[in-house]
């Protein structure tokens, strides 16, 4: 999100899109010169004629009309890109669609995630077994897209484009009308080379942040304004009850529970356009934290009343929650400390001399605790003197 908006990456992003366009033999003009004019709209596989539903009615797209394999371009910021160790909402949406017999072909120009500690772009998923292509860029705004949307659309030939942008604009204080203008321009860029592509505009989930409710109001207005018979527009709504504490790990980015909620609403929007069935409510929710454990837990220093603990955190783990119990007295598990962000060492004090202790390290990303099965236990004794 805004905290990772590094303008130096813009050059790399544009270069990546240009390389993708060149790879399919499409001339890639600059955005200022009008990339749309340099691309033959016939390259879009659905541009020659309106798609039809099963009964042959023009202007609607059914699951059958795209052989249950719609090409979907995902345009967004770090919420779309995802964090290292995430499943991502993209994965959750893919699962929901496959369960219905729809096998989406996600398209884009990248497959990476963002490390929340180092800010590096890396290939690191909780489960990489899905179509990982996307066009999400951490820090991206609607008012200043970091790549040529028309060129990317021409290169990837989507049936449908999902656009989720606006929260970074709000965080940067952009006028909501300017955000709406930016989103409108993105849709215009898509249609300039893919006039029959459908669009999903996503409300921004962080409604507790200043400016986001106004942005969402403009997004809802755009859905009505831009929806046409040949290029329909649907709204992915904020999930009911979506909450900073329960659904995010830092007040912005979704945890595992939030991913599922976002994916549900995206697939619901796809169902309005005929690409899927309306998804059932997911009731068996996972723990919100990352599915991975810390490694190499060890004691690096001991005194009669203290233990210094060290470990190595895998990508995607930002904090460690430490509990302990006194094995000498048979005490119960007690919370002892939470490490600082990105720390891999913790001093623990208040122990009894000569006692044996068992410590348990439970990883988290921000406030999102991992399932207890990812905890690591270590046993040690304090010296008597």
List, run by run, the mean pLDDT of 10-residue segments along the chain (385 residues). Answer: 38 49 38 33 35 38 61 98 96 96 97 92 96 98 97 98 99 98 99 98 98 99 98 98 96 96 98 94 84 95 97 94 97 96 96 97 93 92 95
Instruction: Tell me if 378 sits within 8 A of 299, measured CB to CB.
Output: yes
Distance, CA of 302 to chain centre: 42
Q: Report, in angstroms and rounded to the nearest whole number, the Rg of the chain calculated over CA atoms.
A: 24
CA-to-CA distance for 72 and 279, rounded, in angstroms?
18
Query: Which phi and psi (to 5°) does residue 63 adopt?
Result: -60, -40
Return the CATH number of 295-382, one of 3.40.50.620, 1.10.10.10, 2.60.40.10, 3.40.50.1370.
2.60.40.10
Q: Which two tokens stand for residue 144?
A: 């200043």
* pTM beyond 0.85, yes or no: no
CATH H superfamily, domain 67-273: SGNH hydrolase (3.40.50.1110)
Spell out the residues 6+ positions from residue 270 whose beta carbon is closer than 8 angstroms to its own: 97, 160, 200, 234, 276
Distance, CA of 127 to chain centre: 14
* Residue 40: predicted pLDDT: 31
CA-to-CA distance for 188 and 296, rounded, in angstroms?
52
* Residue 9: predicted pLDDT: 37
* Residue 43: predicted pLDDT: 33
Q: Which two tokens stand for residue 160?
A: 């449908």
CA-to-CA distance for 264 and 266, rounded, in angstroms?
6
In the chain, where the domains are located: 67-273, 295-382
Instruction: Give just the sign of the alpha carbon dihedral 177, 182, 185, 187.
Output: negative
Distance, CA of 201 to chain centre: 15
CA-to-CA distance for 363 and 361, rounded, in angstroms?
6
Instruction: Tell me if 246 sits within 8 A of 210, measured CB to CB.
Output: no
* Residue 88: predicted pLDDT: 98
């Amino acid at each position: 999100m805004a905290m990772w908006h590094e303008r130096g990456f813009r050059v790399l992003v544009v270069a990546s899109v240009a390389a993708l366009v060149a790879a399919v033999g499409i001339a890639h003009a600059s955005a200022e010169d009008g990339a749309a004019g340099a691309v033959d709209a016939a390259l879009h596989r659905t541009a020659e004629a309106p798609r039809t539903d099963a009964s042959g009615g023009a202007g609607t797209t059914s699951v059958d009309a795209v052989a249950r394999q719609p090409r979907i371009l995902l345009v967004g910021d770090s919420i779309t890109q995802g964090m290292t160790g995430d499943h991502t909402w993209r994965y959750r949406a893919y699962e929901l669609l496959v369960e219905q017999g729809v096998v989406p072909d996600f398209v884009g120009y990248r497959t990476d995630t963002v490390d929340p500690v180092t800010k590096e772009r890396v290939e690191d998923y909780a489960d990489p077994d899905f179509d990982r292509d996307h066009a999400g860029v951490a820090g991206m705004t609607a008012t200043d897209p970091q790549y040529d949307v028309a060129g990317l659309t021409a290169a990837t030939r989507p049936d449908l484009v999902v656009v989720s942008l606006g929260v970074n604009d709000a965080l940067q204080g952009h006028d909501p009308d300017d955000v709406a203008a930016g989103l409108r321009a993105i849709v215009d860029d898509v249609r300039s080379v893919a006039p029959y592509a459908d669009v999903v505009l996503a409300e921004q989930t962080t409604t507790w942040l200043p400016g986001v409710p106004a942005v969402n109001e403009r997004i809802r207005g755009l859905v009505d304004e831009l929806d046409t018979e040949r290029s329909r527009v649907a709204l992915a709504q904020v999930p009911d009850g979506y909450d900073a504490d329960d659904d995010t790990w830092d007040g912005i980015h979704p945890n595992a529970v939030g991913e599922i909620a976002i994916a549900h609403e995206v697939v619901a929007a796809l169902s309005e356009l005929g690409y899927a069935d309306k998804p059932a409510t997911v009731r068996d929710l996972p723990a919100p934290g990352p599915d991975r454990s810390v490694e190499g837990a060890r004691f690096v220093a001991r005194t009669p009343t203290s233990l210094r603990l060290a470990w190595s955190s895998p990508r995607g783990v930002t904090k460690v929650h430490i509990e302990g119990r006194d094995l000498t007295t048979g005490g119960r598990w007690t919370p002892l400390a939470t490490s600082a962000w990105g720390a891999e060492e913790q001093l623990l004090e208040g122990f009894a001399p000569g006692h044996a202790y068992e410590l348990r390290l439970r990883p988290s990303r921000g406030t999102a605790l991992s399932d207890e099965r990812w905890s690591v236990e270590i046993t040690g004794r304090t010296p008597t003197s």
